[in-house]
Amino acid sequence: MQQIPKVDLNDFLSANQNDKKQFVAQLGSAFEEIGFVALRGHFLSSKLMEDLYTEIKAFFDLSLEEKKQYEVEGGGGQRGYTSFGKEHAKDRKVGDLKEFWHFGQYEETSPKLYPENLNVNELPVFNSVGKKTYKLLEKTAQHVLQAIAIHLNLEEHFFDSFIANGNSILRAIHYPPITQEPENALRAAAHGDINLITLLMGAQGRGLQVMTNDGTWIDAIAEPDELIINMGDMMSRLTNNKLKSTLHQVVNPPKEAWGSSRYSIPFFMHPIAEMPLNCLPHCISEQQPKAYDDTTAGAFLHQRLIELGLIKK
């Protein structure tokens, strides 16, 4: 497979059951074979995506002193700003060549489960644009998970209660211009995502690569009206590797393009901490023995944040 398969969410939302079945089959096949798909028919308008990129570029153009007032010490990078080079891939010690911002869940119930989102005082609409994007990506992800549930022979709404008020994150990433030869560092080293699924808005600039089954890297490039969606490690655990959490990376640009920034905005769909990640019984067989110990989403996330260098043991 040399390109990412494409699907249209409108087929799943259609009243035509054949269209819905075809979407589920295409989505399931893509996630089993490569773990990535390009999705059109989502709920984000091109205007909203443009507005969010405008706002995040304005934020990262602030001085380091201004940005660091939004960095929460000891917060594990869950909200606000995380400065350049602090996060590294699992099993690596070299920091990735990026800085980022996190929008988190907007809780409407009490008591609060998560840290509060931080307001950027310098940019009046930064937070409102971020919140609107977060909500629409969460809505898109819910429908994708419903299709995945059907593919897995689960009840269509299996995931709904686990993702309601879940610990999802909208991450705005800035890969600054490269000023000197990196020593064994990539903009984002090869990794699998932690969560259930990731929805990526079309990144500003090439660089994202996906590893295929034969170990080769291919470019993952979304059209302007598409989201790139991939499986996370939580889904791999739940399905005993039936659905792949594919390794992916963001490579450094050619030297002649070192002076350019790259921006990327992934939405990491996380469930509530209590969700069991025990392998589904019908995904275990003699041919596919149980690959993972039982755990919960919260325990798994905590361990991975330690491995990424974002929190201490």
Instruction: Tell me the domains of the chain and their CATH numbers.
Output: 6-307 (2.60.120.330)
Tokens representing 36? 């990535």
* Token pair 């932690």 in the structure block, residue: 194
Residue pair 126/59 in contact by the 8 Å Cβ criterion: yes
Phi and psi at 265, nearest 5°, equal -135, 90
What was the pLDDT predicted at 305? 83
Q: Is the pTM of this model over 0.85?
A: yes
Nearest to 265 by CA among 72, 45, 68, 103: 103
- pLDDT digit of tens for each residue in the chain (313 aa)? 467 899 999 999 999 999 999 999 999 999 998 888 999 999 999 999 999 999 999 999 999 999 999 999 887 788 999 988 665 445 545 556 789 999 999 998 778 899 999 999 999 999 999 999 999 999 999 999 999 999 999 999 999 999 999 999 999 999 888 766 666 555 566 777 899 999 998 654 567 888 887 788 888 877 888 999 999 999 999 999 999 888 878 766 666 667 778 888 999 999 999 999 999 999 999 999 999 999 999 999 998 888 877 777 6
Cα–Cα distances in angstroms (integers) from residue 24 to residues 29, 148, 153, 155, 181, in the given order: 8, 7, 11, 13, 45
Count of other CB atoms within 10 angstroms of residue 209: 18
Tokens representing 224? 């302007």
Q: Is 58 helix (H, G, I), strand (E, B) or coil?
A: helix
What was the pLDDT predicted at 242? 95
The kind and range of the H/E element at 262 are: strand 262-269
Residue pair 309/88 in contact by the 8 Å Cβ criterion: yes
